[in-house]
Amino acid sequence: MSSLTLTLIQTALHWENKQANLAMLEEKITGIKERTEIVILPEMFSTGFSMQPERWAEKMDGPTITWMRRMAQQQRIILTGSVIIEENGNYYNRLIWMLPTGDYGCYDKRHLFAYAGEHEHYTPGNKRLIASVKGWKINLQICYDLRFPVWARQSPEGTRDTAPEYDLLIYVANWPEKRSLPWKTLLQARAIENQCFVAGVNRVGADGNGFAHSGDSMLIDPLGNSIFHKQHDEAVATFTLQKENLEQVRARFPFWKDGDTFILSHGE
């Protein structure tokens, strides 16, 4: 069975300052001592959770994507996190899955955080992105998506004989401290109900609107047990996951086979 090594970067962000954020993150990434394969950054890592996309958005050939490509190639890693992208006159909170080859995949945040007015500035996505690495399937989602279990549910069109759709679920976030209990609880719930590993990477510190973030980045196993949890402080944490452990859980407790069959609509 294969293994997969992840590095979670929990950090404070410089408010709406791309140059400072990219320089800070480059220092953290190049400072990783352990061998790693995937490096996970928070949501909107180059700006913070900004509602000014008309000011900070860039194209897919812009400076942040160029930086991600350079870092992935230089460090021989997969680098992921979300950034503000403009495309065809629309703004997206877009997760980039940057490969060391320079190729990439994209996921546009489906559930926009109306409580903060995100839906007034950004266009929602309508398609999930499940990446493949070394035989692992990885479902990539963003922050507020965490509150909507159907969007993460395994094998939405499957049957009892269909294998689980993915093995690892990743959430990148700017989740405020005042709602940290739902963040931690729902991360564990997603791991338990989907019988998968879950990584949630959040920021720390106050943003430009004065909202505090406690981090609470977590790595959770398929039974809901916490492998890693860091509160308040910055952290660069690397862990190796074993596919064998996941398969043992699914074989011993094949709850996924009894899930309800349903069709997940990807409507506009």
Backbone angles phi, psi at 52, to 5 degrees: -120, 60
State residue 264's pLDDT score.
Answer: 73
Our answer to whether residue 244 is catalytic in this structure is no
Specify which residues 247 forms β-bridges with. Answer: none
Weakly modelled stretches of the chain, pLDDT under 70 = 1, 156-161, 265-268
Catalytic residue among 143, 165, 177, 184: 143
Catalytic residue among 37, 43, 58, 165: 43
Catalytic residue among 18, 37, 106, 109: 109
From CA 22, how far away is CA 80, in angstroms rounded?
13
Residue whose C-alpha is closest to residue 42's, from 135, 170, 225: 170
State residue 108's pLDDT score.
Answer: 98
State residue 47's pLDDT score.
Answer: 98
- Report the predicted TM-score, pTM, of the whole model to 2 decimal places: 0.96
Our answer to whether residue 143 is catalytic in this structure is yes
| CATH number for region 3-258 | 3.60.110.10
- 63-75 and 18-30 helices cross at what angle (nearest 10)? 10
The 3 state secondary structure assigned to the chain is: CCEEEEEEEECECCCCCHHHHHHHHHHHHHCCCCCCCEEECCCCCCCCCCCCHHHHCECCCCHHHHHHHHHHHHHCCEEEEEEEEEECCEEEEEEEEECCCCCEEEEECCCCCHHHCHHHCCCCCCCCEEEEECCEEEEEEEHHHHHCHHHHCCCCCCCCCCCCCCCEEEEECCCCHHHHHHHHHHHHHHHHHHCCEEEEECCEEECCCCCEEEEEEEEECCCCCEEEEEECCCEEEEEEEEHHHHHHHHHHCCHHHHCCCCCCCCCC
State residue 153's pLDDT score.
Answer: 94
State residue 200's pLDDT score.
Answer: 98
State residue 156's pLDDT score.
Answer: 60
